[in-house]
Amino acid sequence: MGIVNVTPDSFSDGGNYATEKQAVAHGLALLREGADILDIGGESTRPGAAPVSEAEELDRVMPVVQELAKSGAIISVDTSKAVVMKEAIKAGAHIINDIRALQEPGALEAVAETDAGVCLMHMQGAPATMQNNPNYRHLIEEVEQFLIQQALRAEKAGIARERICLDYGFGFGKTVEQNFELLAHTNYFARLPYPILVGLSRKSSIGAVTGRGVHDRLVGSVTGALLAAQRGASIVRVHDVAATRDAFKIWLMTENQSHKD
């Protein structure tokens, strides 16, 4: 899953039209690099990021969804707002990626009344404050319980199990150690009857371990994505599609050869 941010700060151009054009071009480039899914988002989910109004999010995201849907790619939209979900699905989005796990007003119903897939993610707190003091008694069990509870809630609302994937939310209300504990336990989550999505690309915990700034986290991010996939993640959400695919090719080639005697 390649990341397409439609946030003016990600492209530093200061205007929606230029941002849109660059986001579409970026999405097409990620498809050429081999992305299977594009995840389009109009609101930054970084710790401390300012919230965006519904109208502004629609303005940012919809033209990009409409344009990239024409490419035939699988389109995911990263949003928690029911109206954005509905409009995006009408415009051709196939998946809603919700860091708030369909808990905002109307979100559950907005997805349930369509055939779209959904990613339900765990987050402790809200983006503005989530890194202040992450606190768990039993991290793995608490995250698992939350994810199962939200998945069952979604199923009860009419979202078939096959439409749901789960994400333990690397970087969302967790310390560096907690993020890596979750990554190490990806196989524990992968035994659940839902595919697992992992997103750790360029995140601050990758920077904390490697000592690298946000633009120098390629090796750390690719290694993390590979570890997640080797532990059973079905989808990895990444900025660097080509490099991640290369790493996966090496892994799969090695796996294939290891079955020979």
Question: 223: how many CB neighbours lie within 10 A of its CB?
Answer: 16
Question: Is 203 a known active-site residue?
Answer: yes
Torsion angle (degrees, nearest 10) of CA 27, 29, 33, 35: 10
Q: Which residues pair with 76 in a beta bridge?
A: 39, 95
Distances from the Cα of 261 to the Cα of 219, 230, 250, angstroms: 32, 22, 19
- 237, 245, 249, 260: the catalytic one is 237
CB of 242 to ligand 9MG, least distance (A): 20
148-167 residues in contact with ligand 9MG (CB under 6 A) are 167
Which position's Cβ is nearest ligand 9MG?
Answer: 199
> Taking CB under 6 A as the criterion, which residues in 108-127 touch ligand 9MG?
119, 121
Query: What is the Cα–Cα distance from 8 to 152, expressed in whole angstroms?
Result: 36
Q: Between 51 and 253, whose beta carbon lies closer to ligand 9MG?
A: 51
Q: Is 27 in the site for ligand 9MG (CB under 6 A)?
A: no
* Residue 99 binds to ligand 9MG (criterion: CB under 6 A): yes
Q: Is 97 helix (H, G, I), strand (E, B) or coil?
A: strand
Q: Which is nearer to ligand 9MG, 4 or 31 (CB)?
A: 4
The region, left, alpha or beta by phi > 0 then psi within -120 to 50, assigned to residue 14 is left
Binding mask 51-90 for ligand 9MG (x = CB under 6 A): ---------------------------x------------
CB of 172 to ligand 9MG, least distance (A): 7
Which secondary-structure segment (H or E) carries 75?
strand 74-78
Residue 39 and residue 50: Cα distance in Å, rounded?
20
The active-site residue, picked from 191, 203, 212, 231, is 203
Q: Quick check: 174 binds ligand 9MG (CB under 6 A)?
A: no
Distance CA 91, CA 51 (A): 23
- Say how many C-beta atoms besides its own lie within 10 A of residue 83's C-beta: 15
Chosen residue from 2, 27, 41, 220 binding ligand 9MG by CB under 6 A: 41
Q: Are 1 and 76 in contact (CB under 8 A)?
A: yes
Q: Does 237 bind ligand 9MG (CB under 6 A)?
A: yes
Verify binding: residue 45, ligand 9MG, rule CB under 6 A: yes
Nearer to ligand 9MG, 63 or 169 (CB): 169
Residues serving a catalytic function are 203, 237
Residues forming the site for ligand 9MG (CB under 6 A): 41, 45, 78, 97, 99, 119, 121, 167, 169-171, 197, 199, 237
